[in-house]
């Protein structure tokens, strides 16, 4: 998961970032609210951690702005230097999800991060997701193919999991950019094609593995299930049937231009 941290105190930043990265998350540090808001326009974060009392920052206003910018989906954990009931009530009313009272410990921070992410993204913390020979372990952001671990970069993993969660759906380029990079990413960039090419190669998406990634010019991409995959690795025979695209995809929507209902 991608975690943004806003604080002007270097030791706290190091502690929070060290804890987040030790849990396998990607950490991004910011020391002022303007830089954070600018970053949020260009990229997507899964959790925000910030210090409630920062010089020159109206924290309630910042939280409300972030809530609007992130369509109210971004979980927010704030740190406060004292057990001030007024601060806590104000922050929670503004839209924060949880709080920590400084000085904070790595163990407590680890527990709060884990708990908040599990509540916010329950589907990503399922023990495992299995699609034929492909095994996704969301808690560790790991993919295995026939028991062998495949190394995927951050966005490659997100793309792969999103494709498998939407098998048979034609996903527009705009929708893929919005889900993986954020709504404001340049949709004419070739980055999507490059990432999908890597996913196809690394996961060996081909009929013998039961799945094929199809690119439809001017429309988008679709991950298809292939019938007859069990025969693909068997010894060839004169009357062996060809693999065909699974017919049930016809029962699904032709194209997904936005989040599925």
Domain containing residue 193: CATH number: 1.10.10.10
The total number of structural domains in the chain stands at 2
Tell me the per-residue pLDDT of 9-34, one tens digit each, with 9 for 90 and over. Answer: 888 899 999 998 888 888 999 988 88
Q: Which stretches of the chain are DSSP H helices?
A: 10-22, 33-42, 59-69, 85-94, 106-120, 154-165, 173-180, 191-202, 229-232
Helix (H, G, I), strand (E, B) or coil at 205: coil
Q: Which domain holds residue 8?
A: 2-122
Domain boundary among 101, 122, 143: 122
Question: Is position 41 within any domain?
Answer: yes
Are 80 and 164 within one domain?
Answer: no
C-beta of residue 1 within 8 angstroms of C-beta of residue 25: yes
Cα separation, 193 vs 156, in Å, equals: 11
How many residues can be counted in the chain?
261
Lowest mean pLDDT of 2-11, 115-124, 131-140, 141-150, name the range.
115-124
Are 75 and 168 within one domain?
Answer: no
Cα separation, 207 vs 148, in Å, equals: 18
pLDDT confidence band for 228 (50 / 70 / 90): low
Helix (H, G, I), strand (E, B) or coil at 108: helix
Mean per-residue pLDDT of the chain: 79
Domain boundary among 122, 140, 173: 122
**pLDDT in the model for residue 261:** 35
Exposure of 213 by Cβ count < 10 A (0-12 exposed, 13-18 middle, 19+ buried)? middle
Tell me the per-residue pLDDT of 158-189, one tens digit each, with 9 for 90 and over. Answer: 999 999 999 999 999 888 988 888 755 555 56
Question: Is position 229 within any domain?
Answer: yes
Question: Is position 150 within any domain?
Answer: no
Are 100 and 6 within one domain?
Answer: yes
Helix (H, G, I), strand (E, B) or coil at 230: helix
Question: Is position 143 within any domain?
Answer: no
The CATH number for 18's domain is 3.40.50.2300
Question: Is position 82 within any domain?
Answer: yes
**pLDDT in the model for residue 245:** 36
Question: Is position 48 within any domain?
Answer: yes
**pLDDT in the model for residue 163:** 96
Are 9 and 115 within one domain?
Answer: yes
Tell me the per-residue pLDDT of 56-95, one tens digit each, with 9 for 90 and over. Answer: 888 888 888 888 776 557 899 988 876 666 777 777 887 8
Tell me the per-residue pLDDT of 98-118, one tens digit each, with 9 for 90 and over. Answer: 888 878 888 889 888 988 888
């Amino acid at each position: 998961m991608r975690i943004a941290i806003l604080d002007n105190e270097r030791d706290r930043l190091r502690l929070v970032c060290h804890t987040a990265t030790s849990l396998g998350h990607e950490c991004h540090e910011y020391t002022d609210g303007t830089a954070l808001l600018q970053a949020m326009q260009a990229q997507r974060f899964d959790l925000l951690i910030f210090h409630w009392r920062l010089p020159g920052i109206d924290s309630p206003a910042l939280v409300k702005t972030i809530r609007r910018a992130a369509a109210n989906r971004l979980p927010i954990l704030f740190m406060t230097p004292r057990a001030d009931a007024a601060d806590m009530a104000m922050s929670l009313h503004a839209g924060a999800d949880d709080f920590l009272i400084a000085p904070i410990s790595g163990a407590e921070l680890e527990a709060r991060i884990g708990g908040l992410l599990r509540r916010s993204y329950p589907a990503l913390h399922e023990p495992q997701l299995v699609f034929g020979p492909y095994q996704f372990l969301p808690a560790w952001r790991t993919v295995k193919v026939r028991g062998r671990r495949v190394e995927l970069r951050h966005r490659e993993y997100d793309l792969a999991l999103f494709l498998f969660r939407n098998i048979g759906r034609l996903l527009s380029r705009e929708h893929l950019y919005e889900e993986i990079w954020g709504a404001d990413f340049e949709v004419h960039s070739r980055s999507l094609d490059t990432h999908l090419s890597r996913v196809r190669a690394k996961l060996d998406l081909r009929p013998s593995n039961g799945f094929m990634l199809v690119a439809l010019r001017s429309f988008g991409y679709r991950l298809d299930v292939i019938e007859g995959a069990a025969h693909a690795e068997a010894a060839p025979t004169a009357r062996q049937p060809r693999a065909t695209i699974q017919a049930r995809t016809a029962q699904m929507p032709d194209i997904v231009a936005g989040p599925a209902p």
